[in-house]
């Protein structure tokens, strides 16, 4: 590698780690390629012409989207930018190879809704997940029966197999927090009404709250902070849709925000707008009851359900 740009043009700080998921590797490589290209003052169209591909291909590559011949195009682009160090090029190829593996959601087939795929693909790489859920128990913390009933209510035309696949994809996400290597931390806020909103028979909610209590008493209590937002927050804390904010440890991965709607979602990345949503969720967590009180609140609600109150 030429010395003109030094470490700014090294990607060796990002180590290939399969548990982070393919999408994180594609995005890290893409961001590195973008920085290298802009560092020499070359447009994407010009770079594409020099390495014998199309402008849209370079654009998709730099955005971390799937492309054909990713490793070949990546090394060609790096060479164009003056990167000649063999270890550097080999490291980039290793990251490209990880990026070609299936994303986390692909294990569940075509049953996973298109709009949730980016979140499921990226969240394994998150260092911290912040989430606000006004209507339901946060997806990572749902029981299988609770998840199936919620999915069936929202998408009545799905087959039972599709409902079960979506529920597995939702509840299996909890395994991220059990990882020995790079487990994420979570701050989740849900409205107090969630603990009173019927989902199926009364037993479903009872078992769901039992599940939350077990989680908060397990080893995961150090990784999952669950806040309950009281009704007394009123309109001051009202946000009408779920928000998920992902922050990553690696500098090549920018913040990612997932904004869920009734039958779709919007994804926001990078600085600016993503920071505004982070501020909103942080404010909600500060206004909600402290996480240290959540276990007591859940146990009190379980007692109420047991006595029919």
Q: Decide if 237 contacts 288 (C-beta within 8 A).
A: yes
Phi and psi for 5 in degrees, rounded to 5?
Answer: -110, -10
Query: Mind giving me the DSSP string for 32-93?
Result: HHHHHHHHTT--HHHHHHHHTS-HHHHHHHHHT---TTHHHHHHHHHHHTT---HHHHHHHH
Is the fold of 6-99 the same as that of 114-306? no
The pLDDT of residue 271 is 78
Is residue 210 classed exposed, middle or buried when 0-12, 13-18 and 19+ CB atoms within 10 A define those classes?
A: middle
- Give the DSSP letter of residue 289: P
Phi and psi for 191 in degrees, rounded to 5?
Answer: -70, 150
Q: Domain boundaries in the chain?
A: 6-99, 114-306
The pLDDT of residue 264 is 84
The pLDDT of residue 3 is 33
**Separation between Cα atoms, residue 278 and residue 24, nearest integer Å:** 20
Q: Which CATH class is domain 6-99?
A: mainly alpha
Q: How is domain 114-306 classified at the architecture level of CATH?
A: 2-Layer Sandwich (3.30)
The pLDDT of residue 4 is 35
The pLDDT of residue 273 is 87
pLDDT, block means (10 residues), the chain with 309 residues:
48 94 97 96 96 96 94 96 94 97 92 93 97 95 97 93 95 95 96 93 95 96 94 63 94 94 85 89 93 96 88
């Amino acid at each position: 590698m030429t010395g003109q740009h030094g470490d700014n043009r090294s990607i060796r700080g990002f180590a290939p780690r399969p548990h982070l998921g393919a999408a994180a590797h594609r995005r890290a490589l893409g961001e590195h390629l973008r920085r290298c290209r802009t560092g020499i003052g070359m447009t994407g169209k010009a770079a594409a012409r020099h390495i014998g591909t199309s402008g849209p291909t370079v654009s998709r590559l730099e955005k971390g989207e799937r492309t054909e011949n990713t490793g070949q195009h990546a090394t060609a682009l790096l060479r164009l930018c003056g990167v000649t160090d063999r270890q550097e090029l080999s490291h980039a190829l290793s990251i490209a190879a990880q990026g070609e593996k299936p994303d986390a959601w692909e294990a569940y087939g075509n049953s996973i809704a298109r709009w949730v795929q980016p979140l499921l693909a990226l969240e394994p790489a998150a260092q911290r997940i912040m989430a606000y859920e006004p209507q339901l128990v946060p997806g990572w913390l749902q029981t299988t029966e609770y998840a199936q009933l919620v999915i069936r209510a929202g998408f009545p035309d799905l087959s039972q197999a599709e409902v079960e696949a979506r529920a597995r994809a939702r509840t299996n996400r909890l395994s991220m927090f059990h990882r020995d290597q790079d487990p994420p931390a979570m701050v989740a806020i849900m409205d107090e009404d969630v603990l009173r909103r019927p989902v199926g028979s009364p037993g479903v909610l009872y078992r769901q709250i039992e599940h939350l209590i077990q989680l908060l008493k397990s080893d995961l209590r150090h990784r999952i902070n669950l806040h309950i937002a009281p009704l007394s927050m009123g309109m001051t804390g009202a946000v009408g849709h779920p928000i998920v904010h992902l922050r990553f440890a690696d500098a090549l991965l920018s913040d990612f925000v997932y904004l869920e709607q009734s039958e779709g979602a919007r994804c926001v990345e990078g600085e600016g707008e993503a920071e505004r949503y982070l501020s909103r969720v942080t404010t909600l967590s500060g206004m909600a009851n402290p996480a240290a009180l959540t276990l007591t609140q859940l146990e009190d609600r379980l007692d109420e359900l047991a006595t029919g109150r």
